[in-house]
Structure 1
């Protein structure tokens, strides 16, 4: 009887831990892994965003692609890869800001595409999130993280944004170490990150 009771308690705990967390009426979950890890960045266009937790996305890696004149280098994307995972932040946002998020990611211009992914937090809870993947014209090959080729390297100011946001979001130290190993392209933006983020018109400049 006691064993059966213990089994039921464990089963209930496992079900609760793996439960899918709903955002609530008029809200949605957004999984950020790039510049929107940083609260000051995401709040420029999406003031309703509230950081819920950090979470793991299975079957994808972080990579970089394209070229952003706004940032002076390649921008973050997610790339499918079996047997790996990456981390990011889950934000709860008002549904009326989906359009502003899509504009930031250039969805209508074909820069990024919308994906819906399931991510898992440290407690085992699942969040079905809106996220974005860069529409790369060619496969992203040649190395990742510390081995990213020169043509796909982000600018120092963009990397700083990601790293600040990763620390704000309390991403695992091992993952932050991987982010810290990413080489930049050395582009000089001529200003600090805080100066850049204090100029919304520049931040929102269309690439």
Structure 2
């Protein structure tokens, strides 16, 4: 059994998601209509993570992945279900591959807080994932202009994992 997952943050980078969920295979781009993405989800480390924000008259693109159901618990752990995000099993996106609306799994932030910035390594995962999957130029331009913070802990395990995912993607770290 498999399911479709809509990634819009750091999990857009295939190597990042596959490190968490080995069965993950990219399907193509999708669009969440009536939603935007911003770095508004507070993280325990004091930075921010990407979060979907309901916003009528707008839309944003992300990446659809097909995963084995057996990987769902690992994805839930990575997204801190119940603490950081809630899982939505019937989130609707427009699939560019299928040319229709599809119901998929995604994660919505439990809390939204303005004024935080993503760490440099997390932001790079998002940016490189968007590039890897050919998100539109306006999305890439928006990402290029996001204010970021350099992680004060260079040996942070999450940072080291992110750098490894970037390396596996053939990107200099």
Give the structure-1-normalised TM-score.
0.70
The CA RMSD over aligned residues, in Å, is 2.4
Runs of 4+ residues deviating >6 angstroms: none
Q: Distance in 2 between matches of 1:131 and 1:189?
A: 29
More helix, by proportion: 1
Could you list the runs of 5+ residues in structure 2 that have no partner in the other structure? 166-173
Which of the residues 33, 42, 48 maps onto 1:66? 42
The answer to whether structure 1 residue 51 and structure 2 residue 15 are counterparts is no
Instruction: Give the match for residue 178 of structure 1.
Output: 142
Shift of the 80–100 alpha-carbon distance from structure 1 to 2, 3 Å rule, reads same
- Check the 8 A contact 2:34/2:55 in 1, yes or no: yes
Could you list the runs of 5+ residues in structure 1 that have no partner in the other structure? 1-25, 142-148, 201-207
The answer to whether structure 1 residue 129 and structure 2 residue 104 are counterparts is yes
- Check the 8 A contact 1:40/1:197 in 2, yes or no: no
Residue 194 of structure 1, CA deviation: 8.6
Which of the residues 74, 78, 95 maps onto 2:52? 78
- Check the 8 A contact 1:157/1:189 in 2, yes or no: no
More strand, by proportion: 2
Q: Which has the larger radius of gyration?
A: 1
Equivalence map 1:8-157=2 (5 Å): 26-63=1-38, 64-69=40-45, 73-107=47-81, 109-115=82-88, 116-122=90-96, 124-136=99-111, 140=113, 149=115, 152-157=116-121
